[in-house]
Amino acid sequence: MSVKTSTLPKRYHEAVLKWKEVFLPDYDFLMENWDKHFPNDPEFQLCAYRELGMCTEIECGDLKGKPKAQKPSDMLPEQAHHLFGAIRAQASTEFGSIQQHRLTLARAQEEEEQFWILRMMAEELRHGYQMLHLLVEDDWSSVSKESASDVFEDILSMTTGSHLLGAFNIDFDSFVDNVVFCALIDRVGKYQLAMQKISAYQPMAESMPQMLREEAFHLAAGVVPMRRWVMGAARGETFVTMEVLQKAINKWLPRGLEMFGDERGGGTNVRLGLKPMKNSEAQRQYYDEVAKLVRDLNLRYLRARVADLTHAGSEAAFDRILAGETVEGVRREDLLHIPHMDFFRRRGVPSFRMVGDQGETFATVPEYLQHLVCTLPESYRASRDYKEYVQALTEVQEGRMTAEQAAGKMPALRRVAGACPCSKSVRWMVDEPSLIPAVTAESQPAVGQPVA
Amino acid sequence: MTDTTETAAGIRIRPLDELDISDIVAIDEAISGRYRPEVWERRISYYLRRAPESSVVAEVDGKVAGFMLGEVRSGEFGLEEPTGWIEVLGVDPRQQGKALGRRMAEAILEYFREQGAHSVRTLVDEQREDLRSFFESLGFEPSGLRPFAKRL
* pLDDT at position A431: 39
Quote the pLDDT of residue A429: 39
Q: In terms of Cα–Cα distance, which of A339, A292, A300, A294 is closest to A317? A: A300
Cβ separation of A296 and B115 shorter than 8 Å? no
Q: Residue A433: exposed, middle, or buried by beta-carbon count in 10 A (0-12, 13-18, 19+)?
A: exposed
Rounded to whole angstroms, how far apart are CA atoms A16 and A10? 10
Name the closest residue on chain A to residue B74, using Cα atoms: A40
pLDDT tens sequence across B89-148: 999 999 999 999 999 999 999 999 998 999 999 999 889 899 999 999 999 999 888 889
Specify the pLDDT at position A222: 98
Q: What is the largest CA-CA distance in chain A?
A: 66
Q: CB distance B22–A195 less than 8 Å?
A: no
Which chain A residues contact residue B51 at CB under 8 A?
A: 213
Burial of A131 (0-12, 13-18, 19+ CB in 10 A): buried
DSSP SS3 for A106 = helix
Render the burial of A60-73: b for 16+ CB within 10 Å, e for the rest: bbebeeeebbeebe
Residue B63 in 3-state DSSP? strand
Contact B101, B66 (CB under 8 A): yes
Query: Which run of H or E residues covers position A13?
Result: helix A10-23
Name chain B contacts of A41, Cβ cutoff 8 Å. 49-50
| C-beta of residue A296 within 8 angstroms of C-beta of residue B22 | yes
CB contact under 8 A, B1 and A195: yes
A427 and A414 in contact (C-beta within 8 Å)? yes
Query: With the CA atoms of A297, B47, B27 and A339 taken in that order, what torsion angle do they form, in degrees rounded to the nearest 10?
Result: 20
The answer to whether the Cβ–Cβ distance between B19 and A292 falls below 8 Å is yes
Interface contact A213-B51, CB threshold 8 A = yes
- From residue A146, alpha-carbon distances to A11, A14, A140, A149, B68 in Å are 18, 21, 9, 8, 49
In a 13 Å sphere around the CA of A229, the CA atoms on its Cβ side amount to: 27
* Helices within A235-310 (DSSP H only): 242-258, 267-271, 279-305
Q: What is the pLDDT of residue A419?
A: 42
Please state the length of chain B.
152
> Which of A293-307 are b and which e, b meaning 16 or more Cβ less than 10 Å from the residue's Cβ?
bbbbbbbbbbbbbbe
Phi, psi of B79 (to 5 degrees): -90, 100
Question: Which residues of chain A, if any, have pLDDT below 50?
Answer: 411-452
pLDDT number for residue A144: 83
At residue A428, the 3 state secondary structure works out as: strand
Q: Which of A221, A227, A289 lies closest to B21 in CB terms? A: A227
Using an 8 Å CB-CB cutoff, list chain A residues near B2.
Answer: 194
C-alpha–C-alpha distance, residues A119 and A98, integer Å: 11
Yes or no, beta carbons of B45 and A224 under 8 Å apart = yes
What is the rounded average pLDDT of the residues B1-8? 66
Q: How far is CA A243 from CA A339, A374, B135, in A?
A: 13, 10, 48
Nearest by Cα to A275 from A214, A213, A208: A208
Rounded CA-CA distance A312/A157 in Å is 53
Beta-carbon separation of A38 and B49 below 8 A: yes
Residues 6+ apart with CB under 8 A from B84: B54, B70, B71, B72, B108, B109, B112, B115, B117, B119, B120, B121
Q: Please report the pLDDT score of residue A1 as a whole number.
A: 66
Q: State how far residue A163 is from chain B, nearest Cα, in angstroms.
A: 26
Q: Which residues of A196-234 are buried (b: 16+ CB within 10 A; e: fewer)?
A: bbbbbbbbbbbbbbbbbbbbbbbbbbbbbbbbbbbbbbb
**Quick count: other Cβ atoms within 10 Å of Cβ A150?**
12
Q: Minimal Cα–Cα distance from A159 to chain B, Å?
A: 28
Return the bridge partners of B8, or none: B11
Best to test chain A binding among B18, B31, B111 (most A CBs inside 10 Å)? B18
The SS3 call for residue B127 is: coil
Query: Which tens digits make up the pLDDT trace of A265-292?
Result: 999 999 999 999 999 999 999 999 999 9
Closest CA to B53 of B100, B8, B113: B113
* The pLDDT value given to residue B1: 52
pTM of the model: 0.90
- Say what the ipTM of the complex is: 0.92
Do the Cβ atoms of A219 and B18 come within 8 Å? yes
Q: What is residue A362's predicted lDDT score, i.e. its pLDDT? A: 98
Predicted local confidence at residue A449, as pLDDT:
38
Q: Measured between beta carbons, which residues in chain B are less than 8 angstroms from residue A194?
A: 1-2
- The string of pLDDT tens digits covering residues A11-37 is 999 999 999 999 999 999 999 999 999
Q: A210 CA to chain B: closest CA distance, Å?
A: 10
Q: How far apart are CA A195 and CA A151, in angstroms?
A: 24
Q: Which residues of B touch A338 (CB under 8 A)?
A: none
pLDDT reported for residue A162: 65
